[in-house]
């Protein structure tokens, strides 16, 4: 993960997700309605997915593109697809 | 979310997820390798999914089952399916 | 899966999905642009998800509700959650 | 989608998925147990995901790598990430 705009943006998003998890802990402690808790869990998962996609874009633009330019990038591409596979499930 | 064993278990899991998010913040700050960050994101999403499924099971055993016993439970079942739909995506 | 409106609806949806898969086979044979193929795959997966959710709703309204009324329904609920877990991933 | 080994492999997989959909139609017609139908739906979705990942890998190795070598590939990478985003959900 290189320094810069994207790093700051990812950290902001993770800060917000930390807040969502904290909110979830409070909801469970206060025995709130299950469906409301489940919606908040879905929101946090979606937010994690978004930060993941942002980091993936950065990775393709940086590491994968560099590998493609200097070698065939075959290993980096295989590694990327394996990561997407785990991410998808 | 009723009090009891499940509540304690959910809180433990959320505590662990809060730790994973904290770890992610550190990984991004330290500019760790993107693929390692993405694997940690996948792990946190999977953990959120697990706590969600646990709460869903509790909800079906409690609220939905009660509604089925006293009325037809049609509304509670529709609400459950809508929640699963959002959860799945 | 009981007979009736839902069965007919599920069969219609599956017929449409069979058409989407057939379309995908043609797209691959004609060497169409990968991104277009991937979008069609996403559409077919989403359609399968929808027919799955419809069948799940039917199952909760029927089998699970019956089990809850006659016994505690514990086994049926556990089976449902396990199925949702696989479905989610 | 370029001609070759991958195309043949994708077509084989899609043929198998077409068979799974046909099997699902029969299961619904025969009013089989919902949970069994849902497991078959999950299997078909997983198989579609696999063929999608295979096509994605081919796309990154071909189109995206070419774009990265001749230009910065920025547009192709953005298009890829948008496609992954839809695919993930």
Confidence of residue B10 (pLDDT cuts 50, 70, 90): very high
Whether the per-residue pLDDT at A2 is higher than 90: the answer is no
Distance in angstroms between the alpha carbons of the first and the last residue of chain A: 23
Report DSSP state, residue A4: S
Determine the distance in angstroms separating the CA of A10 from the nearest CA of chain B, rounded to an integer: 7
Q: What six digits make up the tokens of D84?
A: 């992954």
Determine the distance in angstroms separating the CA of C22 from the nearest CA of chain B, rounded to an integer: 24
Q: Are D69 and C24 a contacting pair, CB within 8 Å?
A: no
Whether the per-residue pLDDT at B50 is higher than 90: the answer is yes
Answer whether B37 sits within 8 Å of A1, measured CB to CB: yes
Answer whether A28 sits within 8 Å of B87, measured CB to CB: no
Answer whether A45 sits within 8 Å of B48, measured CB to CB: yes
Rounded distance between C-alpha atoms, residue A57 and residue D79, angstroms: 10
Average pLDDT, chain D: 91
Percent of chain B with pLDDT over 70: 98
* Chain B: touching chains (3 or more CB pairs < 8 Å): A, C
Enter the pTM of the model: 0.89
Q: Are A42 and B52 a contacting pair, CB within 8 Å?
A: yes
Whole-number pLDDT of residue D37: 96
Whether the per-residue pLDDT at A34 is higher than 90: the answer is yes
Contacts D2 to C, Cβ<8 Å: 31
Q: Are C28 and D11 a contacting pair, CB within 8 Å?
A: yes
Whole-number pLDDT of residue A45: 95
Rounded distance between C-alpha atoms, residue C17 and residue C27, angstroms: 15
Confidence of residue B49 (pLDDT cuts 50, 70, 90): very high
| Among chain C residues, CA nearest to B45 | C89
Whether the per-residue pLDDT at B40 is higher than 80: the answer is yes
Confidence of residue D69 (pLDDT cuts 50, 70, 90): confident
Rounded distance between C-alpha atoms, residue C74 and residue B6, angstroms: 15
| Among chain C residues, CA nearest to B79 | C57
**More confidently predicted of A5 and C38:** C38
Rounded distance between C-alpha atoms, residue A74 and residue A68, angstroms: 8
Residues 6+ apart with CB under 8 A from C24: C37, C40, C41, C44, D14
Which among A77, A87, A88 has CB closest to D61?
A77
ipTM of the complex, rounded to two decimals: 0.91
Average pLDDT, chain A: 91
Residues 6+ apart with CB under 8 A from B38: A52, A55, A56, A59, A83, A87
């Amino acid at each position: 993960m290189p320094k810069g705009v994207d790093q700051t943006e990812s950290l902001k998003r993770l800060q917000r997700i930390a807040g969502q998890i904290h909110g979830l802990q409070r909801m469970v402690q206060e025995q709130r309605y299950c469906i409301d808790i489940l919606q908040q869990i879905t929101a946090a998962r979606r937010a994690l997915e978004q930060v993941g996609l942002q980091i993936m874009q950065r990775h393709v633009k940086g590491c994968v593109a560099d590998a493609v330019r200097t070698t065939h990038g075959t290993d980096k591409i295989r590694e990327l697809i394996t990561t997407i596979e785990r991410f998808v499930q």
